[in-house]
Amino acid sequence: MEIEHARAMAGMPVDAMLIKPPKDDPAERPIPIALPPVASIEPDSPLTLAEAYRSYIDDPTRAWTANTREAYETSRRLAIAVIGEAVPVASISRAHCRDMLDVLRFLPANAGKLFPKLSPREAADRARLRGDIKVISAANANSLMSNMSSFLNWAVNEELLARNPARGLRLPDPINKRDKRSPFDRKQLHSIFNAPLYRGCVDGGRGYNKAGSQRPRNARFWVPLIALFTGARLGEICQLDTTDIRAVDGVDCIVVSLRSLNGTTDKQLKTTASDRLIPIHPILIDCGLVHFAETKRRAGEKKMFDDIETGSTGSRPVAFSKWFTQFLRASGAQRSRTSFHSFRHNFRDELRAARIDYDIALLLGGWTTGSSRTAVHENYGSGYRVDALDDAIKKLRFKDVNLDHL
């Protein structure tokens, strides 16, 4: 009774039965109770969805990458278009969120380009009626709903909402997660690394796909090779400093880290487990990667691949990914469910084929376990020295690709 009385005096919800027991229940002393009304204090003018979402994105406590911020901006624009920018955030209901999910279910892919004059709802209605318009995948729809749900969780924490009405709302995904991306097969790898870019081309720019006498050693040449033999993500490779290719305990390594030895400030990592050392595979050394980095360092260059244009997005990985898609098409290696990220799947398969210790495999790839939120890189203190990682890398054979010509 005393605890509930204290909660009541603090304006918190209380259990009336505990404060006012039945009459036949003896009480040693009466406790005077003055229950305040249990109601939230409404602001003079309710905060709208547009205002709240903008406050969420502009929250200075968030260390979002440019890509993450853009993803939440996309979700914000969609939520405002479907629910309404003037709707009070406190009135957002489960029905609003289900309606948004229903629009996402039929939202055409590239709706802004296909139907620039239609709202998302109108574009979705057209796709629903016609039935022959390609719509966004269930994974993309669920990602947008997840961003919306994160915003609503923030609104709950800020006491703008009593609960998150979007919790658990998602579309069933018919594609197994394992099947979303496939590794490149033997024929694709042959097409990629025997294209004019690797056999001899006109130049490393527009003439990369025309046979010629030039053998450019630029970002277009190195980035796919590094991805295959290290499993590193595209963003991790594009942001490498020239000092990130260096010897560690006598082993030539690629250092994937936020730390910079030459003062660059453009690095980002996906997770804490992404911070790692990857010993350089002997084939990469034979192809001249270490020599390439040393040459750039002696020339005073800070970035390994500053020749990657940032494009309209201002992002090197995005620009390179677009070019690589064109390269796959031009080299005859384009297939469904394969993209630059497929190199990472090839690397994981090589680790399995070589029967590399599971913890070492996770360390090399910068993966985290699905059963724990603890970053796998913390296992590094368990005794996996650089030479142990180097031994693992040297066991990877990559029999599906022949790079003798490089």
Q: Is the pTM of this model over 0.85?
A: no
DSSP string spanning 158-203? TTS-SS-TTTT------S-GGGSS----HHHHHHHHTSHHHH-BS-
Are 67 and 142 found together in one domain? yes
pLDDT of residue 33 exceeding 60: no
Are 10 and 143 found together in one domain? no
Separation CA 121–CA 107 (nearest Å): 8
Does 7 fall in a domain? yes
- Nearest Cα to Cα of residue 394 among 353, 354, 344: 354
Q: How confident is the model at residue 110 (pLDDT cuts 50, 70, 90)?
A: confident
Q: How many structural domains does the chain have?
A: 3
- The Cα angle at residue 180 between residues 175 and 184, in degrees rounded to 5: 140
pLDDT of residue 271 exceeding 70: yes
Q: Edge to edge, what strands does the sheet with 245-248 contain?
A: 245-248, 251-256, 276-279
Separation CA 328–CA 140 (nearest Å): 23
Does 388 fall in a domain? yes
3-state secondary structure (DSSP) of residue 157: helix
Does 195 fall in a domain? yes
pLDDT of residue 357 exceeding 60: yes
pLDDT of residue 311 exceeding 80: no
pLDDT of residue 111 exceeding 60: yes
Does 405 fall in a domain? no
Between 178 and 380, residue with greater pLDDT: 178
Does 399 fall in a domain? no
- The Cα angle at residue 159 between residues 156 and 161, in degrees rounded to 5: 55
Looking at residue 234, its pLDDT comes to 95
Looking at residue 379, its pLDDT comes to 43
- Of 3-7, 92-96, 117-121, give the lowest mean pLDDT range: 3-7
Looking at residue 370, its pLDDT comes to 46
Count the helices and strands in the chain (H runs, E runs).
18, 3
Does 181 fall in a domain? no
Cβ–Cβ under 8 Å, residues 151 and 75: yes
Looking at residue 371, its pLDDT comes to 44
Does 133 fall in a domain? yes
> The tokens of 134 are what?
């390609």
Q: How confident is the model at residue 383 (pLDDT cuts 50, 70, 90)?
A: low
Are 32 and 53 found together in one domain? no
Separation CA 147–CA 162 (nearest Å): 18
Q: Which amino acid is at 54?
A: R
- Of 131-140, 255-264, 303-312, 376-385, give the lowest mean pLDDT range: 376-385
Are 197 and 119 found together in one domain? no
pLDDT above 90 covers what percent of the chain?
65
Looking at residue 37, its pLDDT comes to 52
* Average pLDDT in the chain: 87
Separation CA 35–CA 7 (nearest Å): 10
CB contact set of 80 (below 8 Å; sequence gap of 6+): 49, 50, 53
Are 26 and 105 found together in one domain? no
Please give the residue range of the domain that contains residue 292: 186-394
Cβ–Cβ under 8 Å, residues 92 and 152: yes
Cβ–Cβ under 8 Å, residues 305 and 219: yes
- Of 129-138, 186-195, 204-213, give the lowest mean pLDDT range: 129-138
Cβ–Cβ under 8 Å, residues 106 and 136: no
Q: How confident is the model at residue 397 (pLDDT cuts 50, 70, 90)?
A: very high
Are 104 and 194 found together in one domain? no
Separation CA 102–CA 56 (nearest Å): 24
Are 1 and 103 found together in one domain? no
Separation CA 363–CA 380 (nearest Å): 8
pLDDT of residue 40 exceeding 60: no
Are 33 and 62 found together in one domain? no
Q: What mean pLDDT comes out for the span 313-340? A: 91
Looking at residue 369, its pLDDT comes to 52
Between 244 and 45, residue with greater pLDDT: 244
Does 120 fall in a domain? yes
CATH number of 91's domain: 1.10.150.130
- Nearest Cα to Cα of residue 338 among 325, 353, 352, 323: 325
Q: How confident is the model at residue 41 (pLDDT cuts 50, 70, 90)?
A: very low
Are 373 and 239 found together in one domain? yes
Are 157 and 287 found together in one domain? no
Separation CA 193–CA 225 (nearest Å): 9
Are 164 and 27 found together in one domain? no
Domain end call among 176, 206, 224: 176
Are 30 and 55 found together in one domain? no
CA distances from 233 to 71, 255, 267, 270, 351 (A): 19, 13, 13, 9, 16
